[in-house]
Amino acid sequence: MTPIYDTWHLSYKSVFGALRQNRNCRFSIRLPKDVIPDFTPVMVLFRTGFKERFIPMNVSGEEEDCFVYSCDYTPRYTDVHYYYFSYTCGGTRYYIKKKDAHCGGIDGGALFQLTVYGENYETPDFLKGGVMYQIFPDRFCRSGKVHENIPYGRVIREDWGGTPYYRPDHNGHVWNNDYFGGDLDGIRSKLEYLRDLGVTCIYLNPIFEAHENHRYNTADYMKVDPLLGTNEDFEALCRDAAEYGISVILDGVFSHTGSDSVYFNKNGRYPEPGAYQSWDSKYHDWYSFIHFPDTYEAWWGIDTLPNVNENNESYTEFICGEDGVLHYWLSLGAAGFRLDVADELPDQFLNNLRKSVKSFDKDKVVIGEVWEDASNKESYGVKRRYLLGNQLDSVMNYPFREAIINYIRGGKPSDFIRSVMTILENYPKPSIDVLMNFVSTHDIERAINRLGGENCDNHSKEWMAEKWLTPEQYAHGKNLLKAAMALQFFLPGVPSIYYGDEAGLQGYKDPFNRRCYPWGHEDKELIEYVSELSRVRRSIPNMKDGRTYFVINEEEITDNRLIAFTRQGADTDYIVFVNRSGENVSLGNVPGLLSRFRSFEPYIGEFDGETISVPPYGYSIIKAKFVS
């Protein structure tokens, strides 16, 4: 039966996904021939806070079992629009709304989403087609260099690879003050390794002076933490990395500072009065005191992380001004920023931040930490405008991560396809090309643990500290990680490797996902596999910006061990098959299944023109030409 409406097919919506401002799109519905509308069907479109707009739909075609009704729409305003279709028949009004991820029906209930982004919205080319590598600086590599002016209150660990301190003191406070000594020069010493791994961009967790090892409690925005090195060391890292074709982006923590900082100075560490110490401090208005000085707004109520008023004129100028934090680090060689807790940053501040970064160099990048679908996210009752062209270039792709992990662990292919396609449909194409795609980060357990180990959600820190994967669990987790990383590397966006994942580093939740890189004890076979993924990715030009759609799913094949999708190009498509199982999977009648393609050729793996063979926990790729 012909669908009434299907957003994934161009015969229903002439532009897939988000729509660029002032670009026309044709919308079409198909009604059975025995349905004779009393009046012209309409498309009903609206934006939050605005009245509905009714667009008449006229007969535009006739097919075997239906009439096609169409209308054209050219959006003038950037926003998330919502729409449905309506017609009356025999005096009864019918509504065509979503009944699943992409199809519309009379019994549907949800509205369709149309993201309209800025006419001139573009994202930096340097990330597209590349590979990112996330480094938690204290735990990646120590150079052995002696650093000077180390602040008091730090415990310097000599046992590289030891278990991070996690136990609270008698007051229930975890100090996070143990340091293993990873530094910027240590990262510099491993640039050749990163180049050979295929890395084109390093994302550094915070490097500014701060008095906990995670460094999300910034003490001085204008200074590298002394244990990591100096500002000159950072400049040297960026300069040397560029020689290897690697850029460096920084973590920007701008929604709060540390209480032990130049600006708040609760501990009296710094000579100049901070906001906590004096009403007359030049930083006082950056913060919101409820009862001065001891009660103040703090991030999630954590008193060591006082919130800032981002739209305070002085603070905005300090961060975004010509002589501010952003321009300073960009001038030293940073390629952009990943913004911590973007949901906490108000629209006006994000607008100012983007203007500042792009005024320095339009090819610098701004990526936001957003855990949900960033196109329609609401935070604190406000509908966010992250991806409409005036704020972020892209976001951390948590929805992809969850979809990959769930599928690799045995989830339905249709659920995986729906999750991925929803993001591809809702996000602007420029944002999709630079999505940060990961399977592990510093905020979640490592993928090898999630895939091969036990669920840690209901376990204590003591359990996580002492729990290591058994050899059998490690082998299973490693195999599943390979399949997960194949999806991570070949889906749209930029794959981001969390340091050590490629070496078999284990770890449940914070701080055990932040263990030291296992130099001398790496899983060399896994490193070579990740390097191979990078080489294959780099060899396929379509990986830079080729559109994606899935070519087999649960409805078309019975073998749910396989996922297959295409990366489209102007002349050639590359079709990727990923096998999540421990058995070699052969799929026959490929030309019949993929009837919209011609001229099939093997690219990676075994393909004889009829049957493709996909290795256990691996992938195969064929080339083809799309014809219809």
Query: Cis peptide leading into 293, omega within 30 of 0?
Result: yes
**Given 71, 90, 117, which residue is the final one in a domain?**
117
Check: CB of residue 439 under 8 Å from CB of residue 488. yes
Long-range pairs of 596-603 with CB within 8 A, sequence gap ≥ 24 = 596/626, 596/627, 596/628, 597/573, 597/624, 597/625, 597/626, 597/627, 598/624, 598/625, 598/627, 599/623, 599/624, 599/625, 600/624, 603/574
Residue 628's pLDDT band (cuts 50, 70, 90): confident
For the segment 419-440, what is each residue's pLDDT rounded down to a tens digit? Answer: 999 999 999 999 999 999 999 9
Inform me whether the pLDDT recorded for 556 exceeds 60: no
Question: Is 222 a domain residue?
Answer: no
Mean pLDDT of all residues in 575-599: 95
Query: Percent of the chain at pLDDT above 90?
Result: 97
pLDDT in the model for residue 557: 57
Residue 552's pLDDT band (cuts 50, 70, 90): confident
3-state secondary structure of 108: coil
Q: Domain of 11?
A: 5-117
The CATH number given to whatever domain includes residue 47 is: 2.60.40.10
Q: At what angle do helices 313-320 and 347-360 cross, to 10 degrees?
A: 30
Q: Which two tokens stand for residue 390?
A: 């005036």
Question: What total number of domains does the chain contain?
Answer: 3
For the segment 103-146, what is each residue's pLDDT rounded down to a tens digit? Answer: 999 987 899 999 999 999 999 999 999 999 999 999 999 999 99
Residue 1's pLDDT band (cuts 50, 70, 90): confident
- For residues 511 and 461, what is the distance between their CA atoms, to the nearest angstrom? 9
Residue 519's pLDDT band (cuts 50, 70, 90): very high
Question: Is 272 a domain residue?
Answer: yes
Query: Percent of the chain at pLDDT above 70?
Result: 99
Inform me whether the pLDDT recorded for 280 exceeds 70: yes
Residue 295's pLDDT band (cuts 50, 70, 90): very high
Question: Is 503 a domain residue?
Answer: no
- For residues 282 and 317, what is the distance between their CA atoms, to the nearest angstrom? 13
Non-local CB neighbours of 256 within 8 Å, separated by 6+ positions:
217, 298, 299, 305, 306, 307, 308, 344
State the average pLDDT for the chain: 97
Question: Is 550 a domain residue?
Answer: yes
Concatenating the DSSP letter of every residue in 498-551 gives ETTGGGT----STTGGGPPP-TTS--HHHHHHHHHHHHHHHH-GGGTT--EEEE
The CATH number given to whatever domain includes residue 552 is: 2.60.40.1180
The residue type at 395: V
**Given 82, 117, 152, which residue is the final one in a domain?**
117
DSSP H or E segment with residue 186: helix 184-189
DSSP H or E segment with residue 231: helix 231-243
Mean pLDDT of all residues in 279-285: 98
As annotated, the active-site residues are: 340, 369
Question: Is 557 a domain residue?
Answer: yes
Question: Is 65 a domain residue?
Answer: yes
Check: CB of residue 615 under 8 Å from CB of residue 479. no
Inform me whether the pLDDT recorded for 554 exceeds 90: no
Question: Is 378 a domain residue?
Answer: no
Look up tokens 């906490």; give the residue: 344
pLDDT in the model for residue 107: 80
- Biggest CA–CA distance in the chain, Å, is 84
For the segment 92-104, what is each residue's pLDDT rounded down to a tens digit? Answer: 999 999 999 999 9
Residues in the chain: 628
Question: Is 537 a domain residue?
Answer: no
- For residues 35 and 364, what is the distance between their CA atoms, to the nearest angstrom? 54
**Given 79, 98, 117, which residue is the final one in a domain?**
117
pTM for the model: 0.97
- For residues 548 and 541, what is the distance between their CA atoms, to the nearest angstrom? 13
For the segment 468-497, what is each residue's pLDDT rounded down to a tens digit? Answer: 999 999 999 999 999 999 999 999 999 999
Angle at 9 between CA 7 and CA 15, to 5 degrees: 75
Q: Which two tokens stand for residue 258?
A: 């540390």
Mean pLDDT of all residues in 50-64: 96
For the segment 435-468, what is each residue's pLDDT rounded down to a tens digit? Answer: 999 999 999 999 999 999 999 999 999 999 999 9
